Structure 1
């Protein structure tokens, strides 16, 4: 299928958290302060990955419905790993069925760093004592 990742991955908690808002998934890396927006089939891929599905099973399922998206999906998984958002799981749930109606929209991962300093800040120790939150203490 793909020379990329086989096996099962999990969310890299406690540093990484995610949430779905309507039909879009958002991921926050608390260690770096970067947050990520998922578009296209990326939200479905993310949900299956952190839900314990094996990567090769996900890609096989995708190939059966939208073979033109497999390469982009593999690249998406590689990005998740390189950004430290997922890690190899100790154990998976083999044989879980995948019931997804894949759209034809390629996975998209947008990275936002504009709030990184504020998100990564310690709200007790890094705050300007006079101005308060969310003003950070000047660096010396």
Structure 2
């Protein structure tokens, strides 16, 4: 069943290349995790108004494999803002088969980032 992409601006959109696959021909899970971390950090940086570091991968579910040539879109949204940390949900969709387009949800994750000062120490997140 083909889905539709969310009616939002993705934080990241990328097409994996042959160097990104494992011996089975699927994109490495580690590549997907790195892209999710980048996409999730973007709203965390905006909300905290500065540097952040990933402190937890609260959940990470691979739903379907990603193939070379898929256009992969990463959508991230804030779900919690604490005193020094921000939690972000990331949903990942693949657009495949351009001759007969289909959209599938391939991954979903929740990550927590901590705001850091210039010395790498935790700092408070400013009010909105």
TM beyond 0.5: no
Scaled by the length of structure 1, the TM-score of the pair is: 0.30
Structure with the largest fraction of strand: 2
TM-score normalized by the length of structure 2:
0.32
Decide which structure has the larger Cα Rg and report it. 1
Q: Write 1 or 2 for the structure with the bigger share of helix.
A: 1
